[in-house]
Structure 1
Amino acid sequence: MVLKPTLSASRAGLTGHLRQILTGAAALLMLPVAPHAHAQMQQSANGVQVHAGSDTAIIELAGRNLVHVHVLPGGQESPRALVLDPNPTVPDLKSIGGSIQLADATHAVLDAPAVRVRVDTSHGAAIDFCDPENHCLRLDDVFSAATRDELPLELDHAQSLYGMRGLELLDSGRDLTRNQGAIVAAGVQGDGGAPFFFTNHLGVLVDASSGTFKATGPSVRFSGSGRKDLEFYVAFGPPMTVVSAMVKLSGLPPMPPKWTLGFINSQWGTDEADLKKIVAEYRQKQIPLDGFILDFDWKAWGEDNYGEWRWNSTTGAGAAGPDKFPDGASGAFALDLAKQGVKLSGILKPRILLSPEGAPTARTEAAAYADAHNLWFPDEAQQDDYFTKRMARNLNFDLAETRRWFWEHLKPAFQAGMAGWWNDEADSSSVSSASNLQFLNMARMLYDGQRSVADQRVWSLNRTYFLGSNRYGYAVWSGDIDSGFPSMAYQRRRMLAAMDLGASHWSMDTGGFHGHPTPENYARWMEFAAWVPIDRVHGDFGEKRQPWMYGPVAEAAATQAIKTRYALLPYLYSYEHGDHLTGIGVVRPMFWMFPDDEEASRLDSQWMFGDAFLVSPVVTPGVTKQRVYLPAGMWHDFSSGQQIEGNRWYDAPVNAQTWGDTPVFVRDGSIIASQEPQQYAGERPVDEVTLDVFPAARNAEFTYYDDDGVSYRYEAGGYFEQGISVQQNKFGTQLHFATASGTLKPALTHYVVRVHQHARKVTLDGRTLATAPAATTQGDNTWRAGTDKYGDVTVFRVPAGTKLDVTIH
């Protein structure tokens, strides 16, 4: 019999939903006790409950492809870990197209479009999860799992497992798979962890802030969640669908400040005068720059009275390098740079000094407060601060009082112009929950604090990652890596492993932190960095990573790479909005997009950059060709325009003298938005965006997006968004522009559309457009034919924001 639910799903979050179920606030159907398991099964709003004595298991549909399971020994619920979004949206059964069928006292079936769940309580409480293609997962006894603090799952066959853990600082040879399982920990130096695994067809997320996956063949077991009750989700679909579901459950990233998509220079060992000279040279050389990140230098580190929080604009006792930024505290320095389009970020440490200089038995004002309120990180001794050679101790950012107090003293630095933050050295080799969440909680402190006083977007760069961080404006970098080609090559794999954890905002110390790169190493690394989520350079104390420091050939190659990125800012920012909506960023491992291509699935040396670009950076010195795998379809060399048929390996030529080319390929069935490069994001209003369209038989979609790039007004509709699609069929190439949404009135007025194919006629909403001579300025109602590096091209200009249908015959 099919029974319609009598409860409406709570939209106040899963905790409220659970309370409603357990209190029996609505009438539920109670079926007889199962003969062997002594269990009772009853229908709930989105699924069923199973009761065995005082224990309860809730199995419910949470989406079209998603199942939620919560087992409560003794009916007791423990607090959730920080992994899951504290304010989830719980869909009702009708909205996900679900149904619930209770066949008898011991069997139930939950159906949604992309998942079927069978619950069998005839012997224990077994759950089978399957998708329409019969990819399945089984849990033999949900109550036994909760009692043993172990989640034993059986896949339908042994297969590659992904997620769980990132890659460590030094290359141990591990690839992207985690087929033996992994310890779930944030780790150190650019590592990361997430309590979920996924295959090419499904994924499982456990609510836990630590734990261990162990896998043998088709068996996958998770233990050590730290919760008395057991809560997990199962999602079905290809990799991108599953990763998106996992990130949505943990909290989607807010839109980042637009400037963080530009080029960022980090440096340790600078002062106000030096930094002004560096910025002036960027501008004089016309090398785009959006941000400058400051190391220890910006702080009055070592001064008492909260010097660790303050601009280094004083000469107090104990300061490690006094008065390096005399105009920092007043805000004049940040204001001067902002006028030149450069935003400042500053480093933060989780530790504070314990004693004033020369008084080891005394307490600094900050340390005395931490003593009085017990704000110290648990089970950790004091340590030597290598910068001042005095004793220091880490704070515990899991505590609400630590976060409140720390922000209160940091707020003046924000008000003096700090636009971003760099959280460093909060990582630990411990696998405890506290260690895993320390960076997350530092970012949480910044996000909650800054949003409480300003409408300026929050952004922090952190040295490890744990799932759940994304919702706090979080980015991660790969730690203090070495210079040199081998280290650079390894960063490809580390980045892709981070993507498998949901860490879509990834960065690295381009050029390497330790050591000094050769000019060729620097040039090739800068080209690599132009095709990652955050483009940033950094080095050890005294190292400078500006392009002109490495000779004219490297400078030219680096400058061109940066300008290419700035030309693609409309494409990048549109994909950032996609990340905000789905949790899928611009960088995608090959197997995410080509899960059925065995050759692509093994690759960790190249990736997709959005839907359009395939990127394979040069990571070997002196080479004249780069071996690249192109999946099925037609591809276009982004540098030369050459067409290459895919489903094969291709030796891409590269220049060993100029270092000025990166193997990048455009996929047929793509739409690429670009603009004229600027010296920084927002230097000039953009009234015209170019759309390069590479049509194919498959439908290609691109959503152009823009907002003010600074505030959270997009949350209330302050944005401009327009869907664009293209497909070839028997009528020709058909381009569709949807009506724009959002309340923002952008500077954008027109798209210049370049469709890379031959045309004999172009129609706009059924009207035939006139052809325009190549030498004339093109209006809205004309088109022209021409050629470019890709071959034939059809060019026309259309108003932005308007619903339009264009056919190229």
Structure 2
Amino acid sequence: MNTNKQTAGLRLVVVGVVLAVVLMTTLFHSTFAMDKSKFENCDQKGFCKRLRGSKKSSYIISSQKVENGVFTATLENKEEGSTFDPLTLVIESYENGIFRMKIQEKVDAGVTLKNRYNVKDVIVDSVAKVPISESKQNVLTNGNSDLVLENRDDGFKITFKVNGEDVIVFNEKNLLVVENVLREKNENYDGESALGMDFTYVGSTNLYGLPERAMRLSLPPTKDADNNILTEPYRLYNLDIFEYELNNPIGLYGVIPLLYGITSKSAAGVFVLNPSETFVDIIGGSQYSSHWISETGVLDVFFLPGPSPKSIAKQMAYLTGTAPLPQRFSLGHHQCRWNYKDEEDVRNVNQKFDEYDIPYDVLWLDIEHTDGKKYFTWDSHTFPTPKRMQEDLASKGRKMVTISDPHIKRENGYFVHDEATRNGYYVKNSDGTADYEGHCWPGSSSWLDYINPVVREYYADLYSFSKYEGSTENLYTWIDMNEPSVFSGPEITMDKNALHHGDLRHREVHNMYGFYQSVATNLGHIKRRNGEDRPFILTRSLFAGSQRYVAKWTGDNMAEWSHLDIAQPMILALSISGMPFVGADVGGFFGNPEEELLVRWYQVGAFYPFFRAHAHIETKRREPWLFGDHNTQLIRKAIARRYTLLPLYYTIAFESMLTGEPYVRPLFMEYPNDATTFNVDDSFLVGTDLLVKPVVQKGASDILVYLPRGVWYDYETGQKFDAGRGKNVSIATSLDLSIPVFQRGGSILPTQQRLRRSSQQMVKDPFTLTVALNRKGEALGTLYLDDGSTFNYRNGDYVYRQFSFSNNELKAVKGDISPLILNTRSNTVDSNQNRKVDNIIERIVIYGASKPSSISLQYASHDGVDLLMSPEFTFENNVLTIRKPQIPITADFVLKLN
């Protein structure tokens, strides 16, 4: 027997089987290309159909009291012949004017209905309750917020008031329903404990939130003012929808149940803490209202008082946590496709980036890198030396990411499957007698039960270097298909009657499954290096609170202009709902983008918080150098622009960790009194100071950009635009000119202008400050620096600088983080900065200044000697450039224009 021939033959058979499985699952999956018949609507859901109809209640408040700072009451249904039992109403208050309302069945001895799941692990431990006071009868007070309780003839309502003004009314339409049939869970369980409720947003016709879906940012009504149905309600149910349809209210991969309204005077919202399947109608009219219908769970609502959109972002972060400071490399350019086929392919791609002088930080591997879709393994034929491969990337300051989906291949001898089976770590079938089984990429699969904290610890340990052989400290993780996606399941997901830890049905925790995998993966990354490095993990599925553990992308988009357009509102909806580290696949996942579309996508993708190019296995290769020299240079220019702005993005990320404000944001977040901004979602702000207008139409040579009030400058040229109180301006935007980007007058931006292979190689590079003056001749800015990877900043190992310009003087001082901190009890950042760095400021560019006769610069050197200099400068096209001032970045200085 020829052993070599036999081995080669076996390899061919294995490769053939793998290809057959890939083809089979790809074809199987592609049959669901937004086939609406595969996904159910409200009428097909018993609980939704019942409660969306005319079902109303007539509850009134009785037996109310405030005890130990908590309000409790009984809700009695006065409707004749009603089958609804009395309910318990509990209202608590928190810092920042937040109220929390819970309504459940009133059962003997205060015991609530057994089968109602109270959500854990989403609200952070650091939130602080404050005692409710009754300023007068039926008025509950919490700072500037009040809840006014009122019994009407047809039922009660609760009015949420902020600063004395009505902002939200609960139960104005009497749609409160708590179905309380005390029936044991069984195979036929279908929503006997459904919930319904309504909120009216006083004076608001612009509602935002409810991600994730491919919709415009300001959500259109699903019913008109007369309750006539316009569309399906918005669905909150994590699903893997292949080739999703635009402008469809169906939910996609993630759920954040936040919905808020704004007017030119106020903003206020509700956060509904329920992970079960939920439908939300938005009813139009002179002021919008919402009707929420959940399959099960507890009616648990937080009232967020605003009074501005930015305040709501902070209040949501106060409750569910801020996104941690990411590693600096993760803010760079990521290169991915399904799949880089072997180590030689990886080497070639890595070398080509250097050959074409295009920076990038991370190369990604999809499912084909594994041994037969068995996660935490490598294909020994295509990736025989994974450690060496990672070390090669690391030698140029680069990282690698591999994928780890939640489905586990049911194959004896696969260590994860064997251990999960032996220890009972899988989700169980509906009667609890066996492991739940379904089909996904590996074929027959089971799913780890991340709801179980023991399983989360087990999964975390799989990321240890001893368990995950071939992994190194330069390898990070992508968790996909975690809605969870089950090809053979109802609606391509898990059976709702599958059984989780604690006797929980999947229907009760569905939208949190991906959340808990994120928790476990994050823990694994922290444990593998004993807490030395910050994790980097990307997820597709999420719930409120996921931002504490992972970054997010918008899923399997398409290489079409319409998907480039919709990416902005999708990213903004996630950003304003608490998930700031987010992006969309550059170029589109499905299909082959035409050259112009690809270039345009890079031009805007360079401003996404998470900047990754990605493509489907069946698409043509689309690395940046494959589209002709001219397009390669345009893509290179776009990517290079991102790297010059890395200091700004890193500073924004640090400040976001403290404040809860998103990295990118809609215009209305910074200009809430300008009603024109309420419907602008085709441009966005990076922090407060850069306005980006994507070009999303083929062949565009010019474009209208709305500039809010104040002075704006072309970011590249310094051309000045006085927007008055806000106006549209027409901007030339040929492909060569890139997309319009403006710097706000009144800002100072830190940049690094030297092009390197990766962000790690920029660490010691000098800085350029770009100062854009407002009408008063003033500007402010900040810069944050640390080691880029560890948690040492918590002990003060960082630099935070504040720059200001006024009275023709530019000053730099140590920045004070204390005004930024959202919650002192959760803050782990030492305000005493002690990091030593050698970076210098090599150039200062000032937009809006007059030409000086001379410039003087004074600062203290490292040895404490005051230095006085007269740096060189030029003044061209109304732009003042100060060259080579060579100021240490940590030096306090005064630069004066004379």
Superposed CA offset, 1:381-428 (max 9, x none): 644455x6x423333332334333333334233853453211122234
1:116 pairs with 2:146: yes
Change in CA separation of 1:400 and 1:640 when aligned onto 2, cut-off 3 Å: same
1:325 corresponds to which residue? 383
Change in CA separation of 1:350 and 1:642 when aligned onto 2, cut-off 3 Å: same
Gaps of 5+ in 2: 1-59, 77-85, 180-194, 223-232, 242-251, 486-490, 497-506, 817-830, 860-865
Q: CA deviation at 1:663?
A: 1.2
In 2, are the aligned partners of 1:117 and 1:129 still within 8 Å (CA)? yes
Could you state the TM-score of these two structures normalised by the residue count of structure 1?
Answer: 0.81
Change in CA separation of 1:64 and 1:480 when aligned onto 2, cut-off 3 Å: closer
Q: Distance in 2 between matches of 1:462 and 1:739?
A: 34
Aligned residues with identical type, % of pairs: 20
1:85 pairs with 2:123: yes
Q: CA deviation at 1:209?
A: 1.2
1:32 corresponds to which residue? none
1:747 pairs with 2:837: yes
In 1, are the aligned partners of 2:800 and 2:833 still within 8 Å (CA)? no
Change in CA separation of 1:66 and 1:784 when aligned onto 2, cut-off 3 Å: farther
1:270 corresponds to which residue? 341
2:510 corresponds to which residue? 435
Q: How does 1:278-677 map to 2 (within 5 A)?
A: 278-301=349-372, 307-312=374-379, 314=380, 323-328=381-386, 331-355=387-411, 366-372=416-422, 373=424, 375-376=426-427, 382-386=437-441, 390-412=443-465, 413=468, 415-427=471-483, 428=485, 429=491, 432-454=507-529, 455-472=532-549, 474-541=550-617, 543-646=620-723, 647-656=726-735, 659-676=736-753, 677=755
1:219 to 270, 283, 289: 289
SS at match of 1:159: coil
Q: Distance in 2 between matches of 1:792 and 1:661?
A: 24
RMSD between aligned residues: 3.5
Q: CA deviation at 1:343?
A: 0.2
Q: CA deviation at 1:560?
A: 0.8
SS at match of 2:835: coil
Code of the residue aligned with 1:787 in structure 2: it is F
1:696 pairs with 2:774: yes
1:197 corresponds to which residue? 259
Q: Distance in 2 between matches of 1:115 and 1:73?
A: 27
Superposed CA offset, 1:563-595 (max 9, x none): 111111110100111221233222112222223
1:709 pairs with 2:709: no
Between 1:621-630 and 1:739-748, the stretch displaced more is 739-748
1:782 pairs with 2:870: yes
Q: Distance in 2 between matches of 1:541 and 1:51?
A: 58
1:12 corresponds to which residue? none
SS at match of 2:769: strand
Q: Distance in 1 between matches of 2:801 and 2:164?
A: 34
In 2, are the aligned partners of 1:736 and 1:806 still within 8 Å (CA)? no
2:49 corresponds to which residue? none
1:254 pairs with 2:324: yes
Q: CA deviation at 1:162?
A: 0.9
Change in CA separation of 1:327 and 1:146 when aligned onto 2, cut-off 3 Å: same
Q: CA deviation at 1:116?
A: 3.4
Q: CA deviation at 1:145?
A: 4.7
Code of the residue aligned with 1:648 in structure 2: it is K
SS at match of 1:464: coil
In 2, are the aligned partners of 1:108 and 1:120 still within 8 Å (CA)? no
Q: Distance in 2 between matches of 1:780 and 1:537?
A: 48
2:850 corresponds to which residue? 758
Count of residue pairs brought into register by the alignment: 722
Change in CA separation of 1:152 and 1:538 when aligned onto 2, cut-off 3 Å: closer
In 1, are the aligned partners of 2:238 and 2:541 still within 8 Å (CA)? yes
Superposed CA offset, 1:471-520 (max 9, x none): 11x12222222223333233223222332432212222212222222222
SS at match of 2:696: coil
Code of the residue aligned with 1:299 in structure 2: it is T
SS at match of 1:309: coil
Q: Distance in 1 between matches of 2:744 and 2:688?
A: 8
In 1, are the aligned partners of 2:406 and 2:480 still within 8 Å (CA)? yes
Q: Distance in 2 between matches of 1:146 and 1:745?
A: 57
Q: How does 1:227-238 map to 2 (within 5 A)?
A: 227-228=297-298, 230-238=300-308
1:680 pairs with 2:758: yes
Could you state the TM-score of these two structures normalised by the residue count of structure 2?
Answer: 0.73
Q: Distance in 2 between matches of 1:583 and 1:790?
A: 37
Change in CA separation of 1:792 and 1:108 when aligned onto 2, cut-off 3 Å: same
In 1, are the aligned partners of 2:583 and 2:608 still within 8 Å (CA)? yes
Gaps of 5+ in 1: 1-35, 94-98, 315-322, 357-362, 772-777
In 2, are the aligned partners of 1:762 and 1:806 still within 8 Å (CA)? no
Q: CA deviation at 1:187?
A: 3.2
In 2, are the aligned partners of 1:738 and 1:804 still within 8 Å (CA)? no
Superposed CA offset, 1:776-807 (max 9, x none): xx976435553255534567665544556666
Q: Distance in 1 between matches of 2:758 and 2:876?
A: 28
Q: Distance in 1 between matches of 2:526 and 2:294?
A: 34
